[in-house]
Copies of this chain bind each other. A is one copy, B any other.
Amino acid sequence: MPVTRPEVGGPIQHGGNLAQARASFPDAPEPWIDLSTGINPHSYPHSPLPGNAFARLPEPDLAERLKVLAAEAYGAPSQAHVAPGPGTQILLPILAGLQAGWGGGKAAILSPTYAEHARAARLAGLEVTETEDMERLADGRLAVVVNPNNPTGRIVRRSELLALAAVMRAKNGLLVVDEAFMDVSEAESVADAVDAGGLVVLRSFGKFYGMAGLRLGFAISHPETIAKIESRLGPWAVSGPALHVAGEALADAGWQKAMRERLKAEATRLDALLAEAGIPVAGGTSLFRFIRGPRAQAIFQHLGERGIITRRFAERPEDLRIGLPAAEDWPRVEEALRTI
């Protein structure tokens, strides 16, 4: 299949699009196994939603309670350092907009990484540099590091991030550390260090808790920045169901610990299958494995024909990201990898 580039300024292609998978592989067996995202296949087992979770406007005091729980779960200094939103995605243009102000300026993004950061910065009017060099991140008003990185799994040390935040702060810049996959990483969060200023940490609820359809994410930052973000989100930014589910999940340290161990074991199992198939793993996290090499497109094609969709990248044809299968899907994944 041809590798196509997204239109300049147009929407970016992402994982999780089964309609597109069906169109690309019309003869593949159903049901599709979706390994194209980094979302936990084991969703958090929340209690039934209260009857009015959909009907009523989300209660402000429940939203406040969610901030308290998120601050504890993510290690933020306090609930005043937390802004919940309907997914972290919608926060990216808001953050870029805060730094663009009325006069443009530059942004630098540690790359390759989640492509929406660059799109959001350009949308805000910032001139974007995508760089592999940490040294160049301090060049602009906005610096972005995804840690651990998606899709490569690259980890940036806490000390480096804090040094960069200090540089950004000194010039009224902002470092955004997107910790979307931090829940399953050996990387160190910097969520506890936001009070000094110049730093925003993003946390995604849907990935680790297997609840991406719920749309919930958090910005963690100095209270002044939090106030700016919340004023742009306005009231009722988070849905009633999200308040209920996250209200349980973020407080469930037992589930979190057991799930981290389970995901680590499953990632190891996937690595073993890939190794048997002669496919070296170049990186990743416990929620996805990253492959880089000349066979990437052939692996994508082979799995796709067998109803297993993985994530390739239009602009980097040697890269492939493979998520974890659900419990019942391992046999088909094993069979597909055995015949590669």
Residues in chain A within 8 A of chain B (CB atoms)? 9, 11-12, 14-20, 34, 37, 39, 43, 52-61, 86-87, 89-90, 92-93, 97, 102-104, 116, 119-120, 123, 125, 206, 210-215, 230-242, 245
Q: Assess the A16–B234 pair: CB atoms within 8 A.
A: no
The chain B residue sitting closest to A214, CB to CB, is B54
Q: Assess the B235–A89 pair: CB atoms within 8 A.
A: yes
Q: In the complex, what residues of B have CB within 8 A of residue A239's CB?
A: 86, 213-215, 239, 241-242
The chain B residue sitting closest to A61, CB to CB, is B19
Q: Assess the A54–B59 pair: CB atoms within 8 A.
A: no
Q: Assess the B55–A17 pair: CB atoms within 8 A.
A: no
The chain B residue sitting closest to A123, CB to CB, is B231
* Cα separation A104 to B54 with both chains bound (whole Å): 38
Question: Min CB distance, A84 to chain B, in Å?
Answer: 12
Q: Assess the B54–A211 pair: CB atoms within 8 A.
A: yes
Name the contact of A57 in the complex, choosing from B11, B39, B57, B231 (C-beta under 8 A): B39
Q: Assess the B16–A245 pair: CB atoms within 8 A.
A: no
From known contacts A103-B102, A234-B89, infer whether A39 and B14 are also in contact, taking CB-CB under 8 Å.
no
Beyond A56-B212, A90-B233, A102-B125, 18 additional contacts (C-beta under 8 Å) are: A17-B61, A34-B56, A39-B56, A43-B54, A52-B213, A54-B214, A54-B241, A55-B211, A57-B206, A57-B212, A58-B212, A86-B86, A87-B237, A212-B236, A214-B241, A215-B239, A239-B241, A241-B241
* Cα separation A52 to B213 with both chains bound (whole Å): 8
From known contacts A213-B52, A235-B12, A240-B214, infer whether A57 and B86 are also in contact, taking CB-CB under 8 Å.
no
The chain B residue sitting closest to A15, CB to CB, is B57
* Cα separation A239 to B214 with both chains bound (whole Å): 6
Q: Assess the B90–A60 pair: CB atoms within 8 A.
A: no
Q: Assess the A59–B18 pair: CB atoms within 8 A.
A: yes
Name the contact of A234 in the complex, choosing from B92, B235, B236, B238 (C-beta under 8 A): B92
Q: In the complex, what residues of B have CB within 8 A of residue A230's CB?
A: 11
The chain B residue sitting closest to A92, CB to CB, is B234
* Cα separation A181 to B215 with both chains bound (whole Å): 26
The chain B residue sitting closest to A88, CB to CB, is B234
Q: In the complex, what residues of B have CB within 8 A of residue A16's CB?
A: 56-57, 59
Q: Assess the A235–B14 pair: CB atoms within 8 A.
A: yes
